[in-house]
Amino acid sequence: MSEKIAVLGAGSWGSILANLLDENGNEVSLWSYNPKQVKELNEKHTNTHYMKDFTYSETLIAYSDLKQALTGATTVLFVVPTKAVRSVAGDVKQVLEELQTKPQLIHASKGIEQGTYKRVSEILAEEIPAELRKSITVLSGPSHAEDVAKRDITLVTAASTDADAAKHVQQLFMNRYFRVYTNSDVIGVEIAAALKNIIALGTGALNGLGYGDNAKAALMTRGLAEISRLGASFGANPQTFTGLAGVGDIIVTGTSENSRNYRAGDELGKGQSLQEVIDTMGMVIEGVATTKAAYELAKQRGVEMPITGAIYQVLYEGKDIRTAISDLMMREGRSEF
Ligand SMILES: NC(=O)C1=CN([C@@H]2O[C@H](COP(=O)(O)OP(=O)(O)OC[C@H]3O[C@@H](n4cnc5c(N)ncnc54)[C@H](O)[C@@H]3O)[C@@H](O)[C@H]2O)C=CC1
Ligand SMILES: O=C(CO)COP(=O)(O)O
């Protein structure tokens, strides 16, 4: 199967997914709003800031013009940071109106919109009306771009309410090192994907403070418990949280030096300020904004999320991390389930 695919967002994940789709025999256009990055990708086939020591396929063409990137595309894959999804989708809508095409949409972003608490698929559905597109599928799971760049084994899930669309996405991405499952639980997959970044900030901080494996395993397990509670309040399938988008992504993000969220937490634990961490990362740390959105959302829905609350207090209210940990530990004893 081969088709024309436009990938929007040329950071570490967008560029590596674009390269994978190119490798799978598709005609891929990669859009970035940064003309310098487009030049480097087309002339040197590198993307040094986002992916060191990697050479992209010569048939992968980058564009800074959205219309050029979208022309002829039957699939559009969004991989911009969550905070940019609405504005990029608004621009895509205008171009699709001009082009009179109706592509299927996929997104691989992990976050919740500030203020509206919308999931990424909800933002896309709002900004790009159904008459301009086919169905929306979410691609998510334990998948650091750095490992996919090495063609290391990676398993993810493709979630859509349209089973045929999920299967189609599965076929587009599957290859000898990238295996894709399908899932109909879009809500659960998107909530799990967004909120695991909060927990990765936490395990990173534990690492920075010198805590051991027991503490990190505890945080990941109890973190997943509260993420599942929030998911359940939206009608998510509990099984999703035991799957690739749930436990799988908590493990990869909550334990890996490749994770920007884990690294950010690590630096916070070692004493850097949040602003210093953001300024030096140079890439998106989705968990910072997601912590605020999830904290507010949990309050609004009456869902108990003590870990998210503690991380919110550290990030946004200047609470000392050790005090936050101690307060969590000294909560009244309770039943695990
Ligand atoms: N890096 C990874 O391994 C993975 C990342 N993700 C998710 O993919 C999404 C993108 O992440 P990365 O590629 O890692 O981020 P990144 O920080 O590496 O790159 C972000 C890209 O978006 C562009 N961008 C930023 N603001 C923009 C705007 N307003 N309009 C248009 N483009 C804009 C940047 O120029 C850059 O090319 C995030 O939601 C992340 O959680 C998901 C799975 C794996
Ligand atoms: O989502 C990811 C891996 O599945 C990437 O996590 P980071 O954004 O923390 O690097």
Q: What is the pLDDT of residues 247-294, one digit of tens each?
A: 999 999 999 999 999 999 999 999 999 999 999 999 999 999 999 999
Q: Are residues 15 and 49 in the same domain?
A: yes
With cut-offs at 50, 70 and 90, classify the pLDDT of residue 48.
very high
Q: Are residues 51 and 157 in the same domain?
A: yes
Instruction: Tell me the average pLDDT of the chain.
Output: 98
Q: How many domains does the chain have?
A: 2
Q: Are residues 287 and 164 in the same domain?
A: no
At 200 the pLDDT is 98
Domain containing 97 equals: 4-184
Q: Are residues 255 and 204 in the same domain?
A: yes
Q: Are residues 71 and 166 in the same domain?
A: yes
Q: Which one is catalytic: 118, 196, 216, 292?
A: 196
Annotated binding-site residue? 140: no
How would you label 292-320 residue by residue, b for 16+ Cβ within 10 Å and e otherwise?
A: bbbbebbeeeebebebbbbbbbbbeeeee
* 79 alpha carbon – ligand 1 mean position (Å): 6
Q: Is the pLDDT of residue 138 over 70?
A: yes
Q: Which residue's alpha carbon is at the smallest distance from atom 4 of ligand 1?
A: 13
Annotated binding-site residue? 117: no
Q: Are residues 165 and 197 in the same domain?
A: no
CB of 286 closer than 6 A to ligand 1? yes
Atom of ligand 2 nearest to the CA of 197: 9
* 14 alpha carbon – ligand 1 mean position (Å): 7
Q: Are residues 113 and 14 in the same domain?
A: yes
In this structure, what token pair is assigned to residue 196?
A: 């695991």
Ligand nearest to the CA of 244: 2
CB of 57 closer than 6 A to ligand 1? no
Residue 297 belongs to a domain with what CATH number? 1.10.1040.10
Q: Which of 131, 153, 184 is a domain's end point?
A: 184
Residue 334 belongs to some domain of the structure:
no
Q: Are residues 12 and 150 in the same domain?
A: yes
Residues of the chain with pLDDT > 90, as a percent, come to: 99
- The answer to whether residue 83 is catalytic is no
* 217 alpha carbon – ligand 1 mean position (Å): 27
Atom of ligand 1 nearest to the CA of 109: 39
Prediction ipTM score: 0.99
Q: Is the pLDDT of residue 20 over 70?
A: yes
**Contact call for residues 79 and 138 (beta carbons, < 8 A):** no
Q: Which of 184, 205, 221 is a domain's end point?
A: 184
Residue 337 belongs to some domain of the structure:
no
Q: Are residues 175 and 225 in the same domain?
A: no
Q: Which of 15, 110, 152, 247 to mutate to test the pocket of ligand 2 (most atoms within 8 A of CB)?
A: 110
Q: Are residues 250 and 321 in the same domain?
A: yes
At 1 the pLDDT is 64
Q: Are residues 306 and 167 in the same domain?
A: no
pTM (two decimals): 0.98
Residue 281 belongs to some domain of the structure:
yes
Q: Which of 145, 164, 184 is a domain's end point?
A: 184
pLDDT tens digit sequence for 149-185: 999 999 999 999 999 999 999 999 999 999 999 999 9
Residue 37 belongs to a domain with what CATH number? 3.40.50.720
At 2 the pLDDT is 85
Q: Are residues 137 and 280 in the same domain?
A: no
CB of 203 closer than 6 A to ligand 2? no
Atom of ligand 2 nearest to the CA of 141: 4
CB of 286 closer than 6 A to ligand 2? yes
CB of 234 closer than 6 A to ligand 1? no
Give me the half-sphere count of Cα atoms (radius 13 Å) on the Cβ side of residue 193: 30
Residue 336 belongs to some domain of the structure:
no
In this structure, what token pair is assigned to residue 335?
A: 């039943």
CB of 141 closer than 6 A to ligand 1? no
